[in-house]
Structure 1
Amino acid sequence: MPYEFPVDHHALIEERSGQFLSFGLTPQDLEHARTAIDSMWADAPGGWVHEWSRLAAKHSAQGDHALASMVYGIAKFPVLANESRRRALHHQVDEYVKAAGGFGVEFERRVLTLPYRNTAIELPVHLFSADRRYNEAPVLLLSGGVDGWKMDMHPLAVAFAQNAGVTVLAFDQPGTGESPVPLDEFGDQVIDGLIAAARPLGNGKVGHLGVSFGGNFAVRSGLTGAVDAVINIGAPVTAAFEVANLERLLYGMADIVGNAVGFDRPPTQEELIAATLGFDRRDLLLSQSSTPMLVINGADDVHVPLDDTLIFQGRSNTDVHVIPDAGHCAVTKLPELTPMMVDWLRRRLAA
């Protein structure tokens, strides 16, 4: 079962304010949160979930289901550690589906049956398409990381579906959101199953866009040659899993990861290192993959060492961009970076 953990909610709001505003949060709602929230976990007035959910319900009552969904997404942030956050996720899904008519693209919610550890799992996914002619376009797998899930990636999903000539298949990576399995050594099987499902869904070509920890899975997809193009935004790859980096994780990130990998209590540092060691992809970097890869991160990332971006410099068929004056995943700059990413992917999947 997930667990609650100590976290300074004021510091968390400040650290994530740029991300929340880039998702579409209004400055007025952000200011309300700063003044109204006095507890991260209490399910009562002043509690994180209570105050964000109250704002979301207000937007829903006003008919703005897209904004309501986004605010419910903040309410469930950063982990589903209690019933109130699981309830917020349920409301987020409901509001998101209600808002789908205004997405500007065709939208479909499906549940895929995927092989996993000699059995099968059911994974809800979201499809975005310009015209729903799935078999005529490549498919782009899209996921966020341990605390930014498929619905939180909405602006990217719509932008690529509208402009990149792809069908976007958005999913929650293992250990997050609606995924039924933890973030463990078997997580790669889920990605392999998604790739296998994506090829016959589209025209046979598959890309993979991963943000933050989702980029770790995208990097594996590219380095193993499992997909035809990869965009990695802010992925932890090698240095992020070293002791020195795990020791300096801020804003509750160690416990966010601890929840994702399946602990029911705060792990020791040794336990967290052991649980994440399998996501160190340095062995895959020893070989040269022919899969085109675009690598992006902010120069001022507080979670992922810059080395995990720079390690891709000089590799064949790889473009690396370190964005100045930007933090983790360059989230505050993604709106201006998206046209470049869309153009890059369109050209690679059309080649």
Structure 2
Amino acid sequence: MNDVAELKLFGLAHARAQNVTQAAYQEICDRIDSDDGDRPGSWTGEWTRAAARLEAEGRLLEACAHYNLARFPAVDGPARERAQKKCVEACAAWAADHAVTRLDIPVLGDTVPCWASGLSAAERRPLLLVMGGIISIKEQWMTLLAQASRLGMAVLVAELPGVGENPLPYSADSWRMLSRLLDAVSDRADVEHTYGLTLSFSGHAALRCAAHDRRIKGVVTIAAPVATFFTDPDWRRGLPRITVDTLARLTRTTPDDITGDMSSWALTDTELAAVGIPVHYLATREDAIIPGDDVHLLRNAVPGTRVLEYRDEHAGPGNALETRLWIFLSLLRMRRVGGPRTALLAAAAGLLALRRRLTGALAGARRPRPTA
């Protein structure tokens, strides 16, 4: 079983990313006292029951988000497996009315399910490849898929190997899957101009892929490990249990393997020098998962790196709106898209950043000064 306190702490960022308000999140969490199957009071049980009520009311996207949280952080038994299945089914029902299609793509001897929009042989648009981290399933990106036409891009959403419906094991070579996905849609998208919105550990895979596959022209990522995470076993021994257990499940190893030698996963100096593309990276100062040294390394090794830093926990749950604006603005800037929309997004993001800095300054001013 997962630690309930860790579930509540780390689930918040994923709830906020799916437009679940903090009040609604807290209301459900207040009913949770265990991680025991799907009984009343359990993590999966309470989120599943809330999802079923939303689904019965026809609020399919909200139901998807709640089923997603029910299977968080990963399928580890029948209860979470049922929640994930219900999540996929609810999203499929919503997708049928929103020009979003499911693709089952042959990759490395298996089949990787994806969601896609904007693919067209007649009008091959630049491709946005979207992937979350070790606990983010593809179904949480449905709203973005529906916005493909506004982005002027085709969108392909996949999962990191081992996550959700992706049957592949997660490994240091998982970057190869990204190239196979580009191959699969090359007749319906301009994959020579591919941009990755690849968060956390999928950001690591995308950076390694970019060093080998020149079709990737830019990467937007949040809290991606680079090298120090993998070369510093002391850091990994201090990781939250939920992170270690999930990584072990995806890599089909054991927690001891995750806290042991993972140095072969680290991006090398040669690989980082070969990236050579814009990389927009969102970091947080209070990240308990990704060491700050990785951010500094990337900034120094890849000249095209631009870093936005929050004083926040992993993935920045307290700054969800600014993060969304930053993502869209990063993609537009990487593609050199100007005009009124870009200017408006830049102004809105600037105002949110100013509010964040002022709020932080006021909070700092209110802190009592240490005494001798």
Query: Which category of TM-score, normalised to the shorter sequence, fits these structures?
Result: 0.7 to 0.9
Residue identity in the other structure for 2:314: H
Over 3 Å counting, the alpha-carbon distance change for 1:157 and 1:244 in structure 2 is farther
- The question of whether the paired residues in 2 share the 8 Å contact of 1:39 and 1:48 is answered with yes
Deviations 1:184-206 (A, max 9, x none): 24423322211222433212321
Q: In structure 2, what is the equivalent of residue 320 of structure 1?
A: 306
Over 3 Å counting, the alpha-carbon distance change for 1:341 and 1:86 in structure 2 is same
Pick the aligned partner of 1:141 from 129, 138, 151.
129
Deviates more, 1:193-202 or 1:120-129: 193-202
1:177 & 1:201 partners in 2: Cα distance? 25
**Aligned-pair CA distance for 1:350:** 5.8
**Aligned-pair CA distance for 1:97:** 1.6
**Aligned-pair CA distance for 1:49:** 1.3
Q: In structure 1, what is the equivalent of residue 105 of structure 2?
A: 112
Higher relative contact order (CA 8 A, sep 6+): 1
Q: Report the secondary structure of 2:187's partner residue.
A: helix
Pick the aligned partner of 1:67 from 62, 78, 83.
62
Q: In structure 1, what is the equivalent of residue 349 of structure 2?
A: none
Residue identity in the other structure for 2:251: V
Pick the aligned partner of 1:210 from 198, 219, 238.
198
**Aligned-pair CA distance for 1:327:** 2.2
Q: Report the secondary structure of 1:111's partner residue.
A: strand
**Aligned-pair CA distance for 1:15:** 3.6
Pick the aligned partner of 1:295 from 275, 281, 306.
281
Question: Which structure 1 segments of 5+ residues have no match?
Answer: none
Over 3 Å counting, the alpha-carbon distance change for 1:318 and 1:156 in structure 2 is farther
Percent of aligned pairs sharing the same letter: 22
Question: Which structure 2 segments of 5+ residues have no match?
Answer: 338-372
Alignment of 1:260 onto 2:247: no
Pick the aligned partner of 2:114 from 110, 118, 125.
125
Alignment of 1:278 onto 2:267: no
Over 3 Å counting, the alpha-carbon distance change for 1:274 and 1:192 in structure 2 is farther
Deviates more, 1:161-170 or 1:205-214: 161-170
Over 3 Å counting, the alpha-carbon distance change for 1:55 and 1:316 in structure 2 is closer
- The question of whether the paired residues in 1 share the 8 Å contact of 2:283 and 2:310 is answered with no
Q: Report the secondary structure of 1:328's partner residue.
A: coil
- The question of whether the paired residues in 2 share the 8 Å contact of 1:138 and 1:166 is answered with yes
**Aligned-pair CA distance for 1:316:** 5.2
Over 3 Å counting, the alpha-carbon distance change for 1:44 and 1:338 in structure 2 is closer
- The question of whether the paired residues in 2 share the 8 Å contact of 1:198 and 1:206 is answered with no
**Aligned-pair CA distance for 1:276:** 4.1
Alignment of 1:187 onto 2:174: yes
* TM-score w.r.t. length of structure 2: 0.81
- The question of whether the paired residues in 2 share the 8 Å contact of 1:164 and 1:343 is answered with no
Pick the aligned partner of 1:97 from 81, 92, 96.
92
- The question of whether the paired residues in 2 share the 8 Å contact of 1:209 and 1:232 is answered with yes
Over 3 Å counting, the alpha-carbon distance change for 1:284 and 1:94 in structure 2 is farther
1:95 & 1:11 partners in 2: Cα distance? 27
Count of residue pairs the alignment pairs up: 334
Q: Report the secondary structure of 2:186's partner residue.
A: helix
**Aligned-pair CA distance for 1:27:** 4.2
Structure with bigger gyration radius: 2
Residue identity in the other structure for 1:237: V
